[in-house]
Amino acid sequence: MKLIEELITKNETEINMMSPLTWAYVGDSVYELYIRTYLSNKTNLNPHKMHVLAIKYVKASAQAHILQKLDLTDDEREIARRGRNTENHHLPKNATIEDYMYSTAFEALIGYLFLTKQNERLEEILKQSVEIAEENK
């Protein structure tokens, strides 16, 4: 979206210096929006039922599974590794610590690709993510 892309004013060097938790913060929103839009196009469910279904795509264990199945480049694996290894003092309520770390890595990768405007690759990964999530349902 052009409107949102105009909000991104940092260059790649500045984005690389951000905390991976910042990438994950952005990536969480990007992935959630993608899933909500995908479900609103694919289903005729009411918002509550779509929300319940969306949880199956966005919960930590699903994101951890997706990350492990994606075919990533070396650079993308490094971004995910940085996201996974970032110290986070938040304890997950409904996930194992390992799943939470890998879901943070997944969200960091999504956020990084979004912030660096790698839109074509971001779209590929989001589409693959949905395919992986649906195979795992």
So what's the pLDDT on residue 137? Answer: 63
**Separation between Cα atoms, residue 65 and residue 103, nearest integer Å:** 8
DSSP 8-state code for residue 9: -
Distance CA 103, CA 106 (A): 5
| 1: confidence class by pLDDT, cuts 50, 70, 90 | low
Average pLDDT over residues 21-44: 96
Q: What is the pLDDT of residues 53-100, one digit of tens each?
A: 999 999 999 999 999 999 999 999 999 999 998 877 676 678 888 999
Which residue in the list 28, 71, 74, 75 is annotated as catalytic? 28
pLDDT the model gives residue 67? 97
Please report the pLDDT score of residue 6 as a whole number.
75
The confidence score (pLDDT) of residue 8 equals: 84
- pLDDT, residue 2, reads 64
| DSSP summary character for residue 136 | T
Residue 52 burial by CB count (10 A; 0-12/13-18/19+): exposed, middle or buried? exposed
Q: Judge whether 74 counts as a catalytic residue.
A: no
Q: What tens digit of pLDDT does each residue of 101-123 get?
A: 999 999 999 999 999 999 999 99
pLDDT in tens, 8-20: 889 999 999 999 9
